[in-house]
Amino acid sequence: MSDARLSVFKTYKLYVGGKFPRSESGRVYEVTDREGTWLANAPLASRKDARDAVVAARKAFGPWSGATAYNRGQVLYRVAEMLEGRREQFVREVAEAEGLSAAEAAAQVDAAVDRWVWYAGWTDKIAQVVGGGNPVAGPYFNLSTPEPTGVVAVLAPQESSFLGLVSVIAPVIATGSTAVVVASERFPLPALSLGEVLATSDVPGGVVNVLSGRTAEMAPTLAAHQDVNAIDLAGADENLAKELEIAAADNLKRVLRPQPVDDDWFTTPGTERMTAFLETKTVWHPTGSLGASGSSY
């Protein structure tokens, strides 16, 4: 009897609402490396999957946005811990997907882990940077504080399967919003594996939802969805981005257009991707009395 055994191929699934469903359509598509060699079958998410992800993200928004900034920072740091423990797996997946050497892939994975830590450190500091007391002419004080926008649709970068992916997810959830992420169409496997890490990293179900498939099929549904509050167009080409901006105007979504820094995800990020999905709440109160107070957005 031969000692040879068959390899156990990994079954990749979507990550929606803290669970791992197959596409509701049952469709899959072949994922290959840059040389055309088959790597795996990835779920081909449908528009229905995108709508289900929005429902999950909306349900998770209240508890996640209501958590303390310190607690969100702990959760993001836990993601970095779990990624560090699965470093070899992600190095292999990134190297296979993007045709990189082991050293190049390792540099991307290490930078992605560091990126989670970087944003974890910002969760309880961003309010001090973009909020504060406002000078006013009158017998009252006036304070501005940032609040999360809500549900954010994120089109992950097409060519940076992991570092770019992390760089667009982490700032959204660091500030209290929830995300529906459309993974790189060509290189989706690291994103689908990230869902497994998020599920075991104290990230509540629905805070991040990961879809794989045709970006041009799912993105218009997300851009036009009335319960999506913002969209990040990092992974959209020029023509698709224009189409999505028009669709997003129906309910005045915040739109983050591709940034010049998106060409080099190793660049240290600023605060722009966090502030892009924050609203400013201003509260005022009379001084010297216990009179009525008011607020304005």
What is the CATH number for 86? 3.40.605.10
Domain carrying residue 122: 28-296
pTM: 0.90
Looking at the 3D structure of the chain, how many domains does it have? 1
Q: Does any domain span residue 137?
A: yes
Tens digit of pLDDT at every position of the chain (297 positions)? 556 877 788 899 999 999 999 998 889 999 998 888 999 999 999 999 999 999 999 999 999 999 999 999 999 999 999 999 999 999 999 999 899 999 999 999 999 999 999 999 999 999 888 877 777 777 777 778 889 999 999 999 998 889 999 999 999 999 999 999 999 999 999 999 999 999 999 999 999 999 999 999 999 999 999 999 999 999 999 999 999 999 999 888 999 998 766 668 988 888 999 999 999 888 877 876 544 445 444
Residue 27 burial (C-beta neighbours within 10 Å; 0-12, 13-18, 19+):
middle
DSSP string, 225-277: -TT--EEE-TT--HHHHHHHHHHHGGGT-EEE---GGGG-TTSPP-SHHHHTT
Q: Does any domain span residue 65?
A: yes
